[in-house]
Amino acid sequence: MLDAPPTPPASVAASSALKNAHLKGRKRFAADFADLKAQGLECGGLAVTKVRTGDDEGMMDLIVVERAKGDARVVGCNVTITDTSEYPNHHTILTYTDDDDPPERVTSALSALESGPAVPIAETLERFLIALSGRKPPKPKTTTTKPLAALKGKSFATATSDNSDADEDEDGSDGDDGYDAYFPDDDIPLPTGSGAHAEKARAVTARMQRDFLEIVSSEYRPGLIPFVLPAPGARATFDYAADFALSVSIPTVELVRTIPAQALVAWDRRLLGAPRARHLVLLISGFGSGGGGGNVYPPLAAGGGYVRKGMQLRFQVGVCARYKPARAHAVEAGRTFGLVGRDAEDELREARERAAKAREAALLDWGAEGTLDGEGGEFYDESFDLGKEGDEEGEQEDGDEGRFERFSLSGALENLLDAQLVKLIELRREYGVGWAGAETMYAAVEREQRGAEDVWRAYQKNIQRADKDEAALARLGTLPHDPLRELPKGEDINLPYTAFCYLIRRLTLCTRYCLVCHNKLTAEFEALKPYVCDRPLCTYQYYAHNRGASLEYEIIHNPETVDLLVSLCYSAAAEGVLDEPLPKGMALRVPPPDKARITAAPVAPHHMYNQPAAVPVADVDYQVGLDGLVEFDGLPVEHMRASIAAMIDTLPSVDDMKRHLERKVKPGKSKPRLKEMENGTIVPAAWSILRWCVASCTAYLEELSGEQAIQGVDAAWRQFRFSVGAPDAEAKFQKAQQVAMTSDANAKKYPSLYAFHGSALRNWHSIIRHGLWFRTVTNGRAFGDGVYLAKEAQTSMGHYAAGGRACWRKSKLGPTSCVALAEVVNLPHKFVSSNPHFVVKDTEWIMCRYLLIKGLEAPVADQSSKTKKKGAIPLVKLDPAQTITLMNKALQVPQPGYQIGELVQQRTQELVDEDYDETDAFIFEERKEPAPAEVIDISDDEPMPLPAAAKGKGKGSAPPKGPPKDDWKHNADYMRRTVELLMPPPIDSSPSATMAVQRELKAMLKEQEKALISAGGLKELGWYMPEEFIGDNLFQWIVEMHSFDETLPIAKDLKREKVNSLIFEIRFPPTYPIGPPFFRIITPRFLPFIQGGGGHVTGGGSICMDLLTSDGWLPSYSISAVLMQIKLAISNLDPKPARLASNWNTPYSVGESLVGFKRAAATHGWTVPDGIDKLVR
């Protein structure tokens, strides 16, 4: 790596152009690169430094710095010349940056670089620096160089463009290769054109405006996010032909109108507890899905179904600091490609970590002082720092207001919307039912596999009752507006508005529904956090697919809580009291439990410190599989407990997990995963049990310190905010308080009293999940049935909060005792008993507020926390007759809801009435709405008008040549009918394959664009890739092959049957370009070889050519060149000509294509590519 010295731009670009002008292709690129590396480049106050070669040919890495700020780093990026053999006039450029969340000006400059003309790399980078500096880039007219004397005092771009009378480039085209499209002089809104194209643009925009206005009227914020930005400096418009997403949002703080703030914080702190105000955002994309070509808006017909067969909208739910995410994050939210996992860098990092641990162990053995990261640490490498809170990466993320973040319920809500929303709308429109009725119908249809009409006849009363119950709930003002309730059947549906209202409704009611199957829960106990029903499949998917709270998020942001939950579970399991629900139905395979650790549950009714050990259980023979593991679900309960404890013992500490997850990774690589720890040696079941420990806790726990904690409690006790019960438990508790205040004078003055509840450590795993029940006798019931509470803390702490005999050895907290402080309705005369202890039978009168944990180590005081002045903290006004004490000293309790109230107030103050951006403002502009259109199909079959050619001043300028009049024409309907038969696209990918496929796609489209305006036209090109069928997944292409020699038998057959083209599917493997893609014909069907056919087409429609196998494929092959080879092979008359079969209109299936390809490879002895079965099937 070399730091390039600053050099005037003309000295590199111009001198390299002159010195190396006699060279072409790879030699020219190598010479230009050597000059750039040796001399550097500086322009507009920015400089290119640290230029070095990349991993592949034509790839270079560089860093841009700003001179005026002491060479402050601006961006690090990679620039790739994809085809150096065509350099410097006909190559293409790909770029990406290693930086996380680069500024918009950087991404725009990189995009402009890719779309700019093919020029030498020095000029390319000069344009990049100019764009970054904010200056207007030059307009290249020609690349004809002038004598050296004419270049003095000018940059290369200026010197080569001010001769407007120069001749054309070597390729015969004007030097203005569309660079002005990204930096236009004129403020011309896109899309351009007239006629039907412009009419569709106005119709779509007017319809979208109408929907946006309706959304705004309901206090939500709509947004349009085009995936293709207009040129910098140009007026923002809506280019309906390009991909886009729609958003609807609401500030999360406004959700407290219908959802308790405490519940929102418990579900996910990002909803209210983030450092700044957030918006709940629904993203809708996929308006061009379904293979019909182009986008469609509105996507739903008046009856509720999709207007295009095969269409499938995508819904993403998340939070954002702004009312809509930035374009880059909206695109990323819908990304379906995989990322790189472990590579050589990860192996090196792991090796260094192991060496560091070994050295640390040695230092401890020697009694040495100091840490590994100290001065002179031999194994310490700053680049492999495992991450710290508040590091640079995290700060960058916090500063990106356009970031779209998923939260704990995103996955479940997205799955619900994707799978059911449109079907529910159809049921509502057809049968006139509400949301609850439609959900009841849909559940019955899926459960019984019957038609909707049959279900309606069988369950009409139940469906109507569900709607009636929800109508009563809606009258309380807890549900959002229903846009479909009064919408006439013939009226169009405002899908964004309808979808968002349904999202708010389900978020409000989320604890009443299963997070997996989305059916209503029938459990007796309603949890504070959403959970799953008791169906085994739902349990499995909830934990196996991480449908609940994100374990990784909890480990990073709430490590103390995770540590506590795991420790309590371990204690319950090791001491034989862990009971249902157990982690069953999760397909766990565990090592056979150590029989020495298996004990039965204690039989003594009193849990004292001196209690004898649990009783051993009978021996059981395990059915051990070939993997040395047994089925967890087949074990007796006592053995399940022992297995859970053993699995937890194999886990690393929570702090180690946190450091692993916070490790920085480069863009394009997958984030660290827990199962990668310890080199993947931990049994997968252990990670599943960890996920179960955290996700099965439906209570809310958050460690407190400073002003939030109870005053007067010994510092040895850690304090957690503790809430358990249904989201409406707080409302029921307050209602009980109000009733008490109306019936009792003392309760009117002091509505609540506080008291402690202690229990053995092993019992708290259950208490945290179910609350203070009294179904099981744990400490006797001398004073009657109910929940026992004490006014003196020492009573609970010293006697009832028995310590545990088993403790998770890797716990940082090391809990030994647990006590809860509960708020109780102040009606002691109605308790079962009030002396010497409170015994409360009505559990709705009890609200747990705090959980106190005594551990092996005292918590470290938070010196950074800001404490309020004495008297400023709102304290609970306690009944003098019912004070709570610790060692006979009065305790003071902060108001339990004051922090939440302050948080809501703070988020409300942070709200900014943000103006709509230019794109949304364009939608809201006044315009006349055209005649009502039923559905606006934006496929736009007619070609968009090409921009007018630039007029040259000299004699050398000439109008571009157009295609021939008899040029081949694309038939969109023919393609659409064929594409509907396609298999889903491949699911595997890799960053290297993604880059290669993108490079090929860009080259294909560029070659096709040139053919459209060339004299030979598409007919000479021989193939066509319809852009409207380029889907979200780049690893599946649809290409037409056409214009065969008219004298060939196959051409005559195609003409006779009026077949416009051969339609190919191309599927790319994750190993591309190392591994070959798979080519197959979808239609028409060819005459098989055994029946006299030829053309190197197998009986299944695949291509019989060695270059498509592992033996003949080379990474340097381009797809366009391969298509030409296939066309030549099909045109080959030897040994037999290709002909159409009698059933030519029967498409090939993907299965027979694969069989035919394998058969042909076996016949010729070729090697079939690895993974082809997964790629094709």
Please give the full DSSP string across 1100-1118, using - where no structure is assigned. TSBB--GGGSTTT--TT--
| Interhelix angle 196-217/495-508, nearest 10 degrees | 30
Decide if 1037 contacts 1080 (C-beta within 8 A).
no
Instruction: Find out whether the peptide bond into 191 is cis, omega within 30 degrees of 0.
Output: yes
pLDDT of residue 361: 58
Cα separation, 429 vs 415, in Å, equals 22
Q: How many DSSP H helices and E strands does the chain contain?
A: 34, 26
Domains 701-896 and 972-1176 share a fold: no
Please compute Rg for the chain using Cα positions.
Answer: 35
Say which DSSP state 88 is in.
Answer: T
State the Cα–Cα distance between residues 215 and 494, nearest whole angstrom.
9
Q: Which long-range contacts (CB under 8 A, 24 or more apart) does 363-369 make?
A: none
> Which of 563, 550, 566, 543 has its CA nearest to residue 267?
550
Give the separation between CA 565 and CA 834, rounded to whole angstroms: 32
Secondary structure of 453-502 as H, E, C letters: HHHHHHHHHHHHHHHHHHHHHHCCCCCCCCCCCCCCCCCCCCHHHHHHHH
Of residues 107, 115, 137, 117, the one with CA closest to residue 9: 137
Residue entry with tokens 């948080």: 903
Query: Integer distance in angstroms from the first to the last C-alpha of the chain?
Result: 45
Instruction: Give the whole-angstrom CA distance, residue 839 versus residue 1163.
Output: 84
**Phi and psi at residue 1176, to the nearest 5°:** -90, -35
Nearest to 117 by CA among 95, 89, 144, 76: 89
Q: Give the torsion sign (CA, 649, 652, 655, 657).
A: negative
736 CB neighbour count, 10 Å cutoff: 19
DSSP string, 983-1047: PPPP----HHHHHHHHHHHHHHHHHHHHHHHSSSHHHHH-EE--GGG--S-TTEEEEEE----TT
Amino acid making up residue 374: G
- Going by C-beta distance under 8 Å and a sequence separation of 6 or more, which residues neighbour residue 262? 700, 723, 730, 897, 900
- What pLDDT score does 652 carry? 92
Q: Which two tokens stand for residue 949?
A: 């050619």
Q: Where are the alpha helices (DSSP H) in 244-337?
A: 261-267, 327-333
In the chain, domain spans: 9-181, 549-603+625-697, 701-896, 972-1176
Instruction: Tell me the C-alpha to C-alpha distance, in Å, between residue 786 and each of 238, 639, 841, 881, 884.
Output: 65, 32, 4, 22, 20
| Alpha-carbon gap, residue 162 to 141, rounded angstroms | 8
- Pair 725, 792: CB distance under 8 Å: no
Question: Could you tell me if 96 and 78 are in contact, meaning their C-beta atoms sit under 8 angstroms apart?
Answer: yes
The number of CA neighbours under 13 Å toward the Cβ of 957 is: 13
Contact 777, 820 (CB under 8 A): no
Domain 972-1176 has CATH 3.40.50.970: no
What amino acid is encoded at 757 in this protein? H
In this prediction, residue 381 carries a pLDDT of 38
The reported pLDDT for the residue numbered 929 is: 44
CA atoms of 298 and 382, how far apart (whole Å): 53
400/325 Cα distance (integer angstroms): 10
3.90.228, 3.30.70, 3.40.50, 1.10.3470: which CATH number matches 701-896? 3.90.228
What is the Cα–Cα distance from 329 to 318, expressed in whole angstroms? 11
Asked if 64 contacts 54 with a C-beta cutoff of 8 angstroms, the reply is no
Q: What pLDDT score does 891 carry?
A: 85
Q: Which tokens in the block code for residue 208? A: 């979208």
Phi, psi of 937 (to 5 degrees): -85, 120
User: Any idea what DSSP says for residue 609?
Assistant: T
Per the document, the length of the chain is: 1177
Q: Do 530 and 549 touch, CB atoms closer than 8 A?
A: no
| Residue 604 burial class via C-beta count within 10 angstroms: exposed 0-12, middle 13-18, buried 19 and up | exposed
What is the model's pLDDT at position 1131?
Answer: 92
- Beta-sheet strand order (sheet of 752-759): 700-704, 717-723, 846-855, 815-825, 752-759
Beta-ladder partners of 886: 889
**Beta strand residue intervals within 642-751, DSSP E:** 700-704, 717-723
Backbone angles phi, psi at 886, to 5 degrees: -135, 115
Residue 872 has what pLDDT? 62
pLDDT along the chain (1177 residues), means of 10: 41 57 80 84 84 80 86 86 78 79 80 78 85 61 35 35 38 37 32 56 85 85 85 68 88 86 83 80 88 79 87 92 88 63 59 65 48 36 36 43 85 91 94 94 91 92 91 79 85 93 93 89 70 82 75 86 92 87 86 75 44 53 82 88 92 91 69 80 89 84 80 86 70 84 90 89 84 55 79 81 80 89 90 86 86 77 48 77 85 77 79 82 65 42 36 39 76 83 79 80 87 85 88 86 92 92 93 90 90 87 90 85 92 88 89 88 87 83
Residue 201, judged by CB atoms within 10 A of its CB (0-12, 13-18, 19+), counts as buried
- pLDDT in the model for residue 1063: 94
